[in-house]
Amino acid sequence: MTAKLLNGKELAQKKREQLKSDVEALTEHHRQPGLAVILVGEDPASTTYVRSKQKACEQAGIYSVLIKKDDTISEEELLAEIDRLNEDPKIDGILVQLPIPKHISEQAVIERIHPDKDVDGFHPINIGKMMTGEETFLPCTPYGVVEMLKEAKIEIAGKHAVIVGRSNIVGKPVGQLLLNENATVTYCHSRTKNLREMTKQADILIVAIGRPNFIEAADVKPGAVVVDVGINRVDGKLCGDVDFEGVKEVASHLTPVPGGVGPMTITMLLENTVQSARKRV
Ligand code: NDP
């Protein structure tokens, strides 16, 4: 078997075209949607992510502001900046690029962003709404994963979804979203015993751990749908958490890295920003 590719790049492009026309209509009839991104310090990976987010906003016609702060900024000053953006009528979404320096509480920052402008979907109120299945901003990577599955018309209800990784930004929420879609969900993590026995039972296997080529063909049930969230750099080349060459011979569907989940993440951020603007106007 050779797996069908779940092409995130293509779907992201299609969604961005649609978003662009939504943004045009909003701008013409009301006002331009706006996203503010705060970057603390000069971490190269964060700087690259922020630049990609800004570029994506520009292409979609979304107004974007980048607020750069020195890594010596105090927690109080950073929270004051968030307060200012919470009040700014031109801003529909606020995002603080993580990680932030250790002397600032990440949780305090996340909780200071008004839930109505929390387009990353990290605020406890929005996480709570996601759990109860209320409409809210969904965290971008998990939201992108579910959109990819739906686009490929993959049945989720009744399927056994195994999630490897339980971070607050990927593993936990992706499992919750699949549960909301009526999957039966198993979480695996670094303390899971017999992890490879678990993954073999998955109809839908989502891997988000940050370990290059961790999941191999023998860990996958023939015909399973495999989503590789991992982004790793090995010898200067990007690769996922799944051994692509091996697993593509076993899985029915598989996401490539790059070109799979990655492009969907920023697209869902744009989607959340537009959704926020729509509610506000
Ligand atoms: P974290 O480091 O926050 O979490 C990693 C998770 O994987 C933890 O739950 C950890 O378990 C688990 N884990 C680590 N090693 C193992 C192992 N050997 N066996 C089983 N479980 C293990 O990572 P993130 O969730 O933030 O990111 C995961 C990956 O996804 C990274 O490669 C990251 O770059 C990528 N990513 C990609 C995005 C995209 O847009 N495509 C967006 C966000 C992340 P425990 O909790 O027990 O420590």
Task: Select which of 53, 117, 172, 248 is catalytic.
Answer: 53
Identify the pLDDT of residue 85: 98
Annotated domain spans of the chain: 32-114, 139-262
pLDDT, mean of residues 200-216: 98
Architecture of domain 139-262 in CATH? 3-Layer(aba) Sandwich (3.40)
Q: Is the ipTM of this complex over 0.95?
A: yes
Query: What is the pTM for the complete model shown?
Result: 0.97
For residue range 2-41, list pLDDT tens digits in order: 999 999 999 999 999 999 999 999 999 999 999 999 999 9
- Does the Cβ of 9 fall within 6 Å of ligand 1? no
Instruction: Examine domains 32-114 and 139-262 and report if their fold is the same.
Output: yes
Q: Give one word for 153, left, alpha or beta, with left for phi > 0 and alpha for psi -120 to 50.
A: left
Percent of the chain with pLDDT over 70: 100
Give the list of residues 6+ apart from residue 228 with CB closer than 8 angstroms, or none.
207, 215, 240, 241, 242, 244, 254, 255, 256, 257, 260, 261
Ligand 1 touching residue 261 (CB < 6 A): yes
- The candidate with the shortest Cα–Cα distance to 181, out of 198, 159, 203, 201, is 159
Whether residue 202 contacts residue 177, with contact meaning beta carbons closer than 8 Å, is answered with no
Side-chain-side CA neighbours of 238 within 13 Å: the count stands at 10
Q: What is the mean pLDDT of the chain?
A: 97
Tell me, which fold does domain 32-114 have in CATH? Rossmann fold (3.40.50)
Report the distance separating Cα 66 and Cα 53, nearest Å: 10
Whole-number pLDDT of residue 248:
98
DSSP line for 72-91: T--HHHHHHHHHHHHH-TT-
Mean pLDDT of 173-193: 98
Separation between Cα atoms, residue 49 and residue 95, nearest integer Å: 12
pLDDT over threshold 90, residue 1:
no
Q: Find out whether the beta carbon of 138 lies less than 6 Å from any atom of ligand 1.
A: no
Q: pLDDT by residue (tens digit) across 62-91?
A: 999 999 999 999 999 999 999 999 999 999
Which of ligand 1's atoms lies nearest the C-alpha of 209?
7
Q: How many whole angstroms separate alpha carbon 199 and alpha carbon 204?
A: 9
Annotated ligand binding at 21? The verdict is no
| pLDDT tens string 45-70 | 999 999 999 999 999 999 999 999 99
Which of ligand 1's atoms lies nearest the C-alpha of 264? Answer: 40
Which pLDDT belongs to residue 60?
98
